[in-house]
Amino acid sequence: MSATAYYNLTQGQRAVAEVTTENVMELSRSTAQRIEGLLVENQRTSATLAGEPLAAQFLAASEEERKGLAPQVHQMLQNFADTHPDYDAPGLLDANGFVVASLEELLLGKDRSFRDYFQASIQGQPYVSSMLVGRATGRPGVFLTNPVITAEGEIVGIDIVWLKGDTIWSIIDDVVVGEEGITYLVDQDGVIIAHPNRDLLYHSLGELTPEAATTISTTIRFGTVEGTDVPLIPESLGLDDLAAELASAQGSGTHRYDSPLDHRDHVAGYTRLEAYPWTVVVDLPEAQFLAPLQRLRSVAWVSVGVMGAITLLVSILLARTTTRPIRHLTDAAMAVERGQPFEPADIADVTAGRDEIAQLGRTFSSMVLALQQEITEHKQAEGALRESEAKYRTLVEQVPAVTYIAALDEASTTLYISPQVETLIGYSQAEYVADPDMWRERLHPYDRERVLAKVRRSHAIGEPFRSEYRMLARDGHVVWFRDDAVIVRDDAGQPLFLQGVMFDITERKRAEEELRKANRALRVLSECNQAVVRATEESDLLHQICRLIVEVGEYRLAWVGFAEQDKKKSVRPVAQTGFEEGYLETLNIIWADTERGRGPTGTAIRSGEYCTAKDIPTDPRFAPWREAAIQRGYASSVALPLIAEGQTFGALNIYAAEPDAFDADEVKLLTELADDLAYGVMALRT
């Protein structure tokens, strides 16, 4: 019976240890998720301050203009602080890192260019700092910063919001882990940044690496030694074994170690935050949950030694008073591990007594209830986070632009794109995300290499990506976009993904192109009219007109052909300028109504009306000359009849390197040019 009692005690101890270890790890995981949710939500909230038009106007203004805007900016910051009580001292920093607006007057004029958050956000990156101690205020907190960007895309400074350290500390303080257990938070260097015992704040678990000590010193992360300007360097608590475990940890885990602080064995459950390099640790002395069983084991052995003569009676007593409650407690622990609901009444027969087993049962009950409370709060936080994300997504999807997130791989694989993309290029969200090559393949062939080169450069050196380019919609029409994107990084500076906005600028580009073409045609018309006035010989006039069209108008080729009255109705080239390379010798153009006479030149002479080829590679009328034209870079052309006294005697032909280069306004001006040329030719002949 003594062996049975010993076996049951050992099994009970093992079961309690396993469940407790699992519980502290789960408790660390739920706490980490609460802290991460808090940081994500507050980062989004802080970005709204940077998006205020008044912030960009103020930072872009001169020093004198800022004085006039200062009252409005102060009210804007005050409204933001009143709306978000967890924030302290919201403000604005100019492009040089100086605080130019803040509710904390002692911060005004301070240089913060040495801080990591400024150096990141002035390059266009949103930033969440580690826990810092304000150099001027002496208060702990987390800096949330975002670039302030003008409508023209210029970064003129950053916004800064101080999330109070108490907000994070309160989450840690609320976690209950029995009588001696504690929960605390460490940063990427193993420094404690949240702890119920405030005396242990800003101590490192183990010895700092030289690099970490240098970084903490240069950035004055934890303020200065009281009464001096010497940066505070965290002192080691001597927990090097635990520090090494956390430094290499990914996700969640547990670690058993001998603490030099109290010389007892401890179990630590830990979870590293996913998006931030912080780790939540739930630490519990083994004695807290094993002491009752250890004492009970001693009692059992003493009882066996003293009362060996009544072994059977002791065994029966142990079976009734020890084994059964321990088995009941073990069964309850296993049920909790399987995720079944737990109520204190489930082990009421164990906790009703006043012995060590009852104490163990009450400790177990308290820990499970605390864990259930944490899980409930975590689920509520998850629900709130999902609701917040839904609101954020709704806001994004109402913006009159396409927002997206892309991977930093060679193909810039799209991870998310807003539904506006379907309205602009005809592909749904699902289609766009499902095809990793969609963006690259829909880039216009004339823009593809240039844009992809800029993307590769952005990925390589981490600079913001900005470009204007064309994309081909599902039905083939061209859509112009202005694309602005930045690389989002984690707190350690590692790149995560590309986040950007695509604005539809098709109408702007169309207006710019029409204006450019009209101005080009006007310049050509003006110069050619001068040539007509000064001309003394027909041949010189024709060559001058062709030269001016190419040099002033920047067209690819210009040539003049006269309509012969022979049997074939040939077209004879009489003048040309531009990139030609034997093209005219291969034309064999006629103006008869046959295949070689139905191109733009023959049609213009025959009909007396201008004729365009908007896209030479696809225009069937250009089939006889297509290959030669493509080899020389001709993409579109216009043929303008030369008419005198109601008779067409030739055509002025102009070629461009881009498709659809001749719109109605430009053709109207070029037709006027052809009429002036025809008049000049006839005047010289008479």
The CATH-assigned architecture of domain 25-168 is: 2-Layer Sandwich (3.30)
User: How far is Cα 454 from Cα 460, in angstroms, rounded to an integer?
Assistant: 10
Tokens of 324: 């059964």
DSSP 158-206: EEEEEEEHHHHHHHHHT---TTT-EEEEE-TTSBEEE-SSGGGTT-BSS
- Asked: is 399-504 a CATH 1.10.3720.10 domain? The reply is no
Could you give the CA distance from residue 342 to residue 334 in angstroms, rounded to a whole number?
11
In terms of CATH architecture, what is 511-685? 2-Layer Sandwich (3.30)
Separation of alpha carbons 520 and 550, rounded Å: 11
Q: What is the pLDDT of residues 190-245, one digit of tens each?
A: 999 999 999 999 999 999 998 988 888 888 888 888 878 888 899 999 999 999 99
DSSP string, 534-546: H--SHHHHHHHHH
Distance of CA 595 to the CA centre of its chain: 57
Same CATH topology for 25-168 and 399-504: the answer is yes
Domain ranges of the chain: 25-168, 399-504, 511-685
Q: Which residues contact 640 (CB under 8 A, 6 or more apart)?
A: 604, 610, 651, 652, 653, 654, 667, 670, 671, 673, 674
Q: Which of 348, 341, 379 lies closest to 362 in space, CA to CA?
A: 348
Low-confidence ranges of the chain (pLDDT < 70): 1-17, 136, 289-324, 328-329, 332-333, 336-337, 339, 346-347, 350-351, 355-356, 360-361, 365, 378, 380-400
Which of 515, 628, 461, 358 is CA-nearest to residue 124? 461
Give bridge partners of residue 94 from the DSSP assignment.
Answer: 157
Please tell me the predicted confidence (pLDDT) of residue 1: 47
- CA-to-CA dists, residue 139 to 9, 88, 183, 292, 644, angstroms: 50, 10, 22, 43, 89
> How high is the pLDDT of residue 526?
84
**CB atoms near residue 543 (< 10 Å):** 17
